A and B are shown apart, each in its own frame.
Chain A
Amino acid sequence: MRLEKCWFCSSTVYPGHGIQFVRNDAKIFHFCRSKCHKNFKMKRNPRKVKWTKAYRRLHGKDMTQDSTFEFERKRNRPERYDRNLAENTLKAIKKIDKIRSDRASDHIKNRLKTGKVQRQKEARKQLELGIHLVKAPLALAQDSSLCLLKIKVNVSQAQTEENQPMEE
């Protein structure tokens, strides 16, 4: 029993899910769900379809090269069973997973950092330019802090009387 990777979106296909397609040249395609299968039949290139892992990796959205990927490789030679080795492997898998996901999220964070900086700059500029809409320059000159006056609107009696019938 093996977990396969969906050919289109690269998510894992668990046993009992999805479809396997064998082409005439004996190449096997696994699909995790009918969405991927239908996209494949439409001959769409996963590298151009935004939500797939292939696209994300190609366009640098996700982490591509890392030493944690070296741990998971399909080995074709069976190893003789060793309980200690099995134990260690199971523990290692968890740790490797954690490290890998940390690194991936860091990668994304770094990627988004430049955008953040830019946005902050823009915000600062906007504040500078548009402060006259919120606080009159005269008032600003007198009191250079940016605290704004909160206006309290007094709702008169007549209006409340009018409102009630409408609510009913």
Chain B
Amino acid sequence: MVQYNFKKITVVPNGKDFIDIILSRTQRQTPTVVHKGYAISRLRQFYMRKVKYTQQNFHEKLSTIIDEFPRLDDIHPFYGDLLHVLYNKDHYKLALGQINTARNLISKIAKDYVKLLKYGDSLYRCKSLKVAALGRMCTVIKRIGPSLAYLEQIRQHMARLPSIDPNTRTMLICGYPNVGKSSFMNKITRADVDVQPYAFTTKSLFVGHTDYKYLRYQVIDTPGILDRPFEDRNIIEMCSITALAHLRAAVLFFLDISGSCGYSIAQQAALFHSIKSLFMNKPLIIVCNKTDLQPLDGISEEDRKLVMEMKAEAMKTVIGQGGEPTNEEGVLLTMSTLTEDGVIAVKNAACERLLNQRVELKMKSKKINDCLNRFHVALPKARDQKERPACIPQAVLEAKAKQAAEKEKRKTEKELEDENGGAGVYSASLRKNYILANDEWKEDTMPEILDGHNVYDFIDPDILLRLEELEREEGLRQAEEEGDDFEMDGQELSLEEQEALAEIRKKKSLLIQQHRMKKSTAESRPVVPRKFDTDRKFTTRRMGRQLSSLGLDPSLAISRARSKSRGRKRERSVDKREGDGRDAMDIDDNQASKKLRLRSTSRSRSLSRPPGEVIPGEGLKDSAQKIKAIKLAKKSVLKRNKNARRGEADRVIPTLKPKHLFSGKRSIGKTQRR
């Protein structure tokens, strides 16, 4: 059920705009690029997509139009009639029908052309098919252009219709033009209706709302009705007739007693009688307006009679509704909107009548019984006159009283806080209500961490027992340990032995080092053979030292070595000669041996040699060569310039990101790389 708010209908575009919208959307939302070199299936797909897309959009938009416009048969007959009166039902239906057919036509077109596109064999053919399809669809829309325009106009008008709820409490104001209906409307509601001296100022229905007894009433102001046969009525009058016909409302028929509207009371009464069939089952009130100009008592006899007739008619309706037949007050009322005299009375009377009628109706209907059933309060019939009040046991009463007292007496935490200096100063003791074995423990702080352990992990009610057990175990274990320790001590070396071992190891490592050096040099370059003792390692002194360190006495060995040293040849000859006998050439021999002795003694005292002197076993030719060799050796030993590096592998970069390399703009060119 639409909420009778036709403002939510989407705008109906006119034909041209419609086409533009859809085609541009197709252009935007589907792929646009295609080349004739593509696979044929791709081309077909491309164009089929376009056709389908266009069809879908048209379909969508047309469907929204069709769905959103109300179906005159499905809405409340009041609105159906009103729309018919305003727009002509037939035209309306026709327009919507045309839209529907257009929709179907477009679908058919699209289907056909998609079928054709499936067999398109070239880009050009597919494209032409697509152009044809879209063209036909657009022609369809162009043809329904007038219908679209018409629907748009209807939509705009419908949006401005007043939102009248046909089912709620309504009051309808009707009467001749200019009798004061709109003024009355303005007085009792907040609606601001035009009030002008000329007739037909109000050209359509207006709605206002007013309150009575905490309920909201709709007040509908109608355009004036003239007394004409039904067929001659124009659209504006038909609006009010429709409203009268369909809305279940209280009718206020306005009568201008003074005649200043331009119509006499006779004419107005005639009107009344002609439309009284519309007042069936509606509470009718006859309101005489403009009493400031002409009070009700001052009218002529015929007029009075007419008025009374009208009143009689009105009374009939009262009876019909089950109201009290004797109550005449709510039927004929007088007022003046100018002086606001009686306006409220009229309103109240009308509202009251309407309310009563509605309540009556509700009571009679079936639905109310369901509600009423729930409201029933069963009271037992009184047996006798004795008073039997509710019985509440004394204990409960006392408990209730005590609780109440306690609630007042107990101090809240907030009060406590306020007393002790407010929120920032006092912090509540959260532990106050702890339940512990001993109340002194409430404010204890327990450490959570101790020596790298969480204390909470160790808490155990029988920790003491377990600890005792553990200590016992530990004691046993330690005793065992001591027993084990004694086994080990026999194996150790004594101090002497340790020292000896250390010496052995040192000697061994020295030997290994020497061997390594010798090994490497022997492989890479030729060495002087051992018999030419350049380092002077093979001296008796050294031998003596080594032997004595081993614990042997070296003196014998030294003397033996000395006797067998360089001067060996000569000494042998001396011995030989001594062994033969001393006959010939003693002097010479003695001299020779003397020289020898001298030389050998002089040789045995060590003298440092001059640098260039060639020693026979070295392998050098002469002194000059030796000097050159020495020079070369010294040059090779010169330390090379290491540039403050430790070696070749020392690649230290003192600053990893020197500023002058990593910053600054180039005077010409890009700084894409540095």
User: A residues bordering B, Cβ < 8 Å?
Assistant: 1-3, 12, 67-68, 71-75, 79-83, 85-86, 88-90, 92-97, 99, 102-103, 106, 113, 116-117, 120-121, 123-124, 126-127, 130-131, 133-136, 138-140, 143, 145-149, 151, 153
Contact = CB atoms under 8 A, between A and B. Distances in A.
Contacts of B435: 80
Contacts of A151: 545, 548-549
Interface string B448-476: 11111111111111011011001101100
B232 to A, nearest CB: 84
A14 B505 CA distance: 49
Contact of B448 (A1, A85, A140, A148): A1
30 contacts: A1-B448, A2-B456, A3-B453, A12-B452, A68-B470, A81-B436, A83-B438, A85-B461, A86-B444, A86-B455, A89-B463, A90-B455, A93-B450, A96-B470, A99-B474, A116-B488, A120-B491, A120-B493, A123-B501, A127-B493, A127-B501, A130-B507, A133-B508, A134-B500, A135-B551, A136-B550, A143-B551, A146-B500, A148-B499, A151-B548
Given A1-B448, A151-B545, A92 B458 contact: yes
| 9 pairs of A and B residues whose beta carbons are closest in the complex | A139-B551, A136-B550, A130-B504, A133-B507, A146-B496, A134-B503, A146-B500, A83-B441, A136-B552
A149 B549 contact: yes
B231 interface: no
A79 B459 contact: yes
A120 to B, nearest CB: 5
B457 A73 contact: yes
Contacts of B471: 95, 99
Contacts of B474: 99, 102-103
Nearest to B450: A93
A56 B642 CA distance: 46
A152 to B, nearest CB: 10
B447 interface: yes
User: Most chain-B Cβ atoms within 10 A of its Cβ — which of A80, A81, A131?
Assistant: A81
Contacts of B473: 67
A106 B481 contact: yes
Nearest to A83: B441
Interface string B539-570: 00000010111111000000000000000000
Given A106-B481, A151-B549, A3 B454 contact: yes
The CB with the most chain A CB atoms within 10 A, among B453, B481, B545, is that of B453
A41 to B, nearest CB: 25
B215 interface: no
B470 A99 contact: yes
B586 interface: no
B231 to A, nearest CB: 82
B458 A71 contact: yes
A83 B444 contact: yes
Contacts of B384: none
A124 B494 CA distance: 11
B437 A80 contact: yes
A117 B450 contact: no
B466 A71 contact: yes
A86 B496 CA distance: 58
B451 to A, nearest CB: 6
A80 B436 contact: yes
Given A67-B473, A83-B444, A134-B503, A147 B451 contact: no
A71 to B, nearest CB: 6
Contact of B455 (A73, A89, A116, A126): A89
B584 interface: no
Given A75-B459, A83-B441, A131-B504, A93 B451 contact: yes
A5 to B, nearest CB: 10
A75 B551 contact: no
A162 B548 CA distance: 28
Contacts of A75: 456-457, 459-460
Given A67-B470, A120-B492, A127-B493, A133 B459 contact: no
Nearest to B546: A151
Q: Which of A2, A89, A127 has the most CB of B within 10 A?
A: A89
A92 B463 contact: yes
B467 A136 contact: no
Given A92-B464, A133-B508, A127 B500 contact: yes
B194 interface: no
B434 to A, nearest CB: 8
A131 B449 CA distance: 60
Contacts of A103: 474, 477
A124 B436 CA distance: 70
Contacts of A138: 551-552
Given A71-B463, A75-B459, A93-B453, 9 more contacts: A2-B448, A72-B453, A79-B459, A90-B447, A92-B467, A120-B493, A127-B497, A149-B551, A151-B545
A117 B491 contact: yes
A122 to B, nearest CB: 10
Contact of A74 (B457, B508, B552): B457
B517 interface: no
Contacts of B492: 120
A117 B505 CA distance: 19
A158 B20 CA distance: 121
B446 interface: yes
Contacts of B464: 88, 92
Contact of A2 (B451, B454, B463, B501): B454
B446 A86 contact: yes
B503 A72 contact: no
Contact of B552 (A73, A96, A139, A145): A139
A88 B463 CA distance: 8
Contacts of A153: 545
A36 B456 CA distance: 27
Most A-side CB within 10 Å, residue of B434, B436, B491: B491
A80 B438 CA distance: 11
A147 B497 CA distance: 8
Interface in B64-103: none
Given A72-B453, A92-B458, A123 B493 contact: yes
A92 B452 CA distance: 14
A79 to B, nearest CB: 6
Nearest to B469: A67
Given A3-B449, A80-B436, A93 B458 contact: yes
Nearest to A99: B474
A60 to B, nearest CB: 19
B459 to A, nearest CB: 5
B381 to A, nearest CB: 63
B450 A82 contact: no
A88 to B, nearest CB: 6
B550 A97 contact: no
A79 B461 contact: yes
A139 B491 contact: no
